[in-house]
Structure 1
Amino acid sequence: MHWFPAAASATTHVKATAAAASASIPPWLCIPFVGLLLSIAIVPLIKPDWWDRNKGKAVLVWSLLFIIPFAITCGIGRTTDVVLDCIFNDYLTFIILLFGLFCVSGNITLEGDLAGSPRINVILLLIGTLLSSWIGTTGASMLMVRPIIKVNSWRKRKSHIMIFFIFLISNLGGCLTPIGDPPLLMGFMRGVPFFWSLHLFPVLAFNAAVLLLIFYWIDRYNYRKDIAEGWKPDISKPGGKVKIHGLHNIFFLIMIVIGVILSGTLPTIPAFKDASGNVLGIHITSNVTLGFPSIIEVAIILSAAWLSFRTTDKTVRTKNHFTWGAIQEVATLFIGIFITMQPALILLKLHGAELGLNQPAQMFWAAGALSSFLDNTPTYLVFLTTAGALGFTSGLSTSVGMIPLKMLMAISCGSVFMGANTYIGNAPNFMVKSISDENGIRMPSFFGYMLWSVAFLIPVFLLDTLIFFL
């Protein structure tokens, strides 16, 4: 679900997580997580005004419905460690990263006579998809979302554009390098070569070609209906040139990416470890530590956001219709998601090896199904470790064992690709939805979006299975 923020904590998960995984917990503790997801999916449809005013209260209630029974069942000390570890080592860096990218991307705007035609939209989606592997799915999403919204601002029918944006830029495009999505960084830190992920290019190329072709036909149909109803782009400005304002903010985006990469690589350096191999940092409790790599990451990201605002004229943000609503909504909802999903992650870590998965196709769908709703980083690690323990004698040698290339491809693609199946499957998904809603694009509901993913993504993933993973 996360981008790189989970990387530091996933590589050196503190004693709290290790303790939590050492003893079984009752599956019914997953109910608050399911309840929160259903609330996000259903309540906005039934009581939208109430939800807008009270979503924070709903998140608090569902979080307490997990925390209190967990404390009664597993003890106050263990509960404190699990919740604080989640907040400081997962949520804090997650929301700081989104905040930084949100701020910096909001200071870049596009102007000119570029109208959102099917051809232009395909080109922009393709550019964003390729960028995702080099600045991360979150970085590419935040960089591309406003330009695509702007060039299509004259369109009446445009929600499908943002849905395919989430499919391609916010998810599938991040599979080619460890920079693109955190599961691949976890593989890199366990002995998978940095450029090994380029083995996934044929899968990405196939998926992107199929989805862009489908998108083109859908967009052309809606484009023609818009034109027939009299919707026309305003391309009356002279010159016909496209101008990008605030382009210097690309430097601050790169600065954020560097900070995130450091958070994943510094924990492997001896200078950041104690004698026992634990990452050094600030002790929140005796069992929970906020590592120095995460602190460095947060400092770099906040510095980039501050410098971006200081060096960019506010008229750029005005042209982008920049507000704080989207980041506030994501911050509120995801703290509840992060907290309430802890039992599911613990159970997955405990019992993932017992699922009897030993074929690439099985790994592809199991990793993908769980990554649609849970953090894809621990999901990837569970199945990577499981594959490494199956006793294969050929394939790629990693620190968790020998893994056949097709098996590793299946785990990687499932974890990265299927985050597109739901709004909560990957961090930028909900952010793109929120920014789209703010700009007057009527995005589908939680279940409405899943209808799109079932209709268009699942058939593509079935083809992936037949072509690449059997």
Structure 2
Amino acid sequence: MIPLWLCIPFAGLLLCIAVLPLIKPHWWEEHQPHAVAFWSLLFVVPFALMYGVSHASETVLECMINDYLTFIVLLFGLFCVSGNITMSGDLAGSPRINVGLLALGTILSSWIGTTGASMLMIRPIIKMNAWRKHRRHIIVFFIFLVSNMGGCLTPIGDPPLLMGFMRGVPFFWSLHLTPVLLFNMALLLFIFYWIDRRAYRTDIAKGLKPDISKPGTEIKIRGAHNMIFIVMIVAAVILSGTLPSLPMFQDAEGKVLGIHILGEVVLSYPAVIEIAIILLAAFLSFKTTDASIRRENHFTWSAIKEVAVLFVGIFITMQPALMLLKASGPKLGITDPFQMFWATGLLSSFLDNTPTYLVFLTTAGSLGFTGGMMTALGSVPIKMLEAISAGAVFMGANTYIGNAPNFMVKSIADENGIRMPSFFGYLIWSFGILTPVFILDTLLFFL
């Protein structure tokens, strides 16, 4: 059993992410890599002393090779490709336009992934609302809907559902969550409209006006051919979930073939194929797109660099918490759908939602149910599977680190002059708005 105190480095790193940008912003911007290295070593060194250097090395390499590498390559590819698409015209940010854009992004998330939809939609939304002063709430609701909830309808939408698909859950089964998503969309977009309407009128009253030549809806998209490369990336993600089940990618024992790194750490061939396709898509995107589009988008590398650095530390230091969860998950006494919804969701708010989903899916499969969805992990009642899936996907919106695109969207918004809420400030937004929504979800769908 992993001692609880080994989770201190993870808590310390989260505290740095939350507090230092408020009290020492310039120091934090310059010394993020040093802070990440400090907290990572504070976990790795005691872990190595307790369990041996070999085991510690395998643990770190396992999360770096099989979790972090594919995570950051996917983010990098979508960041590059989306940065080569720009939207311009007479469509200026207003409450109705913003509601429409958020609804569009939410639906797109299930078909090109929450990360893909976030990277594709965030710059146009920022650009259309550039004339406004009060706009941070637009990005907050963008994270709620596009970066998280919208990904619940297909395995492409969010990694936890892809893991479920790899373990026997049918590809289109997640469409069962359509009523929950539509309910949440209607509720959140209604709340957003009234908040944005008030902010919009405040901006207009202060003399701010959109810079448009005429009141029309003409839209011009440059770099639209990059949608081909987004499709390539989505195809790579689908392949990474389907190829491991093919006999040609398995050895005689059924293990997935790959490149041996150290001990039992293997970089699988399906992962290599995924990475190669994504990097090729990013390369072709840059080669085939005029640099003026990136200048128009104010494209820089700072956002992806910040995410890459911080999430190295997050992935390493959260290992003890994940180990504790895997060891204790079946003993927590969680047997009802509403319990699964909240347990999966609250832990997914701070830990990687993919292993959290798998822990509770495994727990549900071991409870001995005879009806419901038959998976590789056992039979799981439909309502319980819905609760686990919704908790993992929806509650990633609770914090900036709850889902991959959250922090990226925040960084891009900060880079474009939008003063985003701090880590704790965002928690106030999510607690005040999302918690009542999740309580209603519980009462209507998971009891």
TM-score with structure 1 setting the length? 0.94
In the alignment, the residues of structure 1 paired with residue 386 and residue 314 of structure 2 have an alpha-carbon distance, to the nearest angstrom, of 28
Alignment of 1:61-76 (within 5 A): 61-76=38-53
In the alignment, the residues of structure 1 paired with residue 163 and residue 61 of structure 2 have an alpha-carbon distance, to the nearest angstrom, of 22
Shift of 1:286: 2.6
Whether the 8 Å CA contact 2:369–2:379 is kept in 1: the answer is yes
In the alignment, the residues of structure 2 paired with residue 351 and residue 181 of structure 1 have an alpha-carbon distance, to the nearest angstrom, of 25
The letter of the residue matching 1:103 is: C
Whether the 8 Å CA contact 1:112–1:237 is kept in 2: the answer is no
In the alignment, the residues of structure 2 paired with residue 235 and residue 363 of structure 1 have an alpha-carbon distance, to the nearest angstrom, of 49
Shift of 1:240: 5.2
Shift of 1:237: 6.0
Q: Which residue of 1 aligns with 2:440?
A: 463
In the alignment, the residues of structure 2 paired with residue 95 and residue 386 of structure 1 have an alpha-carbon distance, to the nearest angstrom, of 29
Shift of 1:130: 0.1
1:209 aligns with 2:186: yes
Q: Secondary structure at the match of 1:284?
A: strand
Q: Secondary structure at the match of 1:244?
A: strand
In the alignment, the residues of structure 1 paired with residue 50 and residue 268 of structure 2 have an alpha-carbon distance, to the nearest angstrom, of 29
Alignment of 1:236-385 (within 5 A): 236=213, 241-385=218-362
Q: Which residue of 2 aligns with 1:123?
A: 100
Cα deviations across residues 67-113 of structure 1 (Å, max 9, x unaligned)? Answer: 00100111100000000111111111111111100000000000100
In the alignment, the residues of structure 2 paired with residue 36 and residue 286 of structure 1 have an alpha-carbon distance, to the nearest angstrom, of 28
Shift of 1:276: 1.6
Q: Which of 177, 183, 201 lines up with 1:224 in the alignment?
A: 201
Q: Which residue of 1 aligns with 2:159?
A: 182
1:88 aligns with 2:65: yes
Query: How much is the aligned-residue C-alpha RMSD, in angstroms?
Result: 0.9
Q: Which residue of 2 aligns with 1:447?
A: 424
Q: Which residue of 2 aligns with 1:30?
A: 7
In the alignment, the residues of structure 2 paired with residue 349 and residue 79 of structure 1 have an alpha-carbon distance, to the nearest angstrom, of 18
Shift of 1:393: 2.0
Whether the 8 Å CA contact 2:397–2:430 is kept in 1: the answer is yes
Q: Secondary structure at the match of 1:397?
A: strand
In the alignment, the residues of structure 2 paired with residue 360 and residue 206 of structure 1 have an alpha-carbon distance, to the nearest angstrom, of 18
Q: Which of 394, 402, 415 lines up with 1:417 in the alignment?
A: 394
1:431 aligns with 2:408: yes
Q: Which residue of 1 aligns with 2:80?
A: 103
Q: Which residue of 1 aligns with 2:21?
A: 44
Q: Which residue of 2 aligns with 1:196?
A: 173
In the alignment, the residues of structure 1 paired with residue 182 and residue 88 of structure 2 have an alpha-carbon distance, to the nearest angstrom, of 30
How many residues are paired up? Answer: 447
Cα deviations across residues 123-171 of structure 1 (Å, max 9, x unaligned)? Answer: 0000000000000000000000000000000000000000000000000
- Which consecutive residues of structure 2, in runs of 5 or more, have no partner in the other structure? none
In the alignment, the residues of structure 1 paired with residue 317 and residue 343 of structure 2 have an alpha-carbon distance, to the nearest angstrom, of 21
Cα deviations across residues 274-315 of structure 1 (Å, max 9, x unaligned)? Answer: 112211111111321111111111110010000000000000
Cα deviations across residues 316-373 of structure 1 (Å, max 9, x unaligned)? Answer: 0011000001000000100000000011111111110010000000000000010000
In the alignment, the residues of structure 2 paired with residue 176 and residue 238 of structure 1 have an alpha-carbon distance, to the nearest angstrom, of 36
Whether the 8 Å CA contact 1:125–1:168 is kept in 2: the answer is yes
Q: Secondary structure at the match of 2:207?
A: coil
Cα deviations across residues 443-467 of structure 1 (Å, max 9, x unaligned)? Answer: 0000100000000001100000000
Whether the 8 Å CA contact 2:91–2:216 is kept in 1: the answer is no
User: Which fold has the larger relative contact order, with Cα–Cα distance below 8 Å and residues 6 or more apart in sequence?
Assistant: 1
The letter of the residue matching 2:230 is: L
In the alignment, the residues of structure 1 paired with residue 32 and residue 363 of structure 2 have an alpha-carbon distance, to the nearest angstrom, of 38
Q: Secondary structure at the match of 1:248?
A: helix
TM-score with structure 2 setting the length? 0.99
- Which consecutive residues of structure 1, in runs of 5 or more, have no partner in the other structure? 1-23
In the alignment, the residues of structure 1 paired with residue 202 and residue 116 of structure 2 have an alpha-carbon distance, to the nearest angstrom, of 33
Q: Which range moves more in the overlay, 241-250 or 283-292?
A: 283-292
Cα deviations across residues 367-395 of structure 1 (Å, max 9, x unaligned)? Answer: 00100001111111111111111111221
Cα deviations across residues 167-220 of structure 1 (Å, max 9, x unaligned)? Answer: 000000000011101111111122211111111000000001000000000000
In the alignment, the residues of structure 2 paired with residue 175 and residue 124 of structure 1 have an alpha-carbon distance, to the nearest angstrom, of 18
Q: Which residue of 2 aligns with 1:399?
A: 376
Whether the 8 Å CA contact 2:413–2:420 is kept in 1: the answer is yes
In the alignment, the residues of structure 1 paired with residue 156 and residue 401 of structure 2 have an alpha-carbon distance, to the nearest angstrom, of 20
Structure 1 outlier segments of 4+, above 4 Å: 237-240
Shift of 1:260: 1.2
Q: Which of 387, 401, 404 lines up with 2:364 in the alignment?
A: 387
Percent sequence identity over aligned pairs: 72
Whether the 8 Å CA contact 2:144–2:397 is kept in 1: the answer is yes
In the alignment, the residues of structure 2 paired with residue 239 and residue 128 of structure 1 have an alpha-carbon distance, to the nearest angstrom, of 22
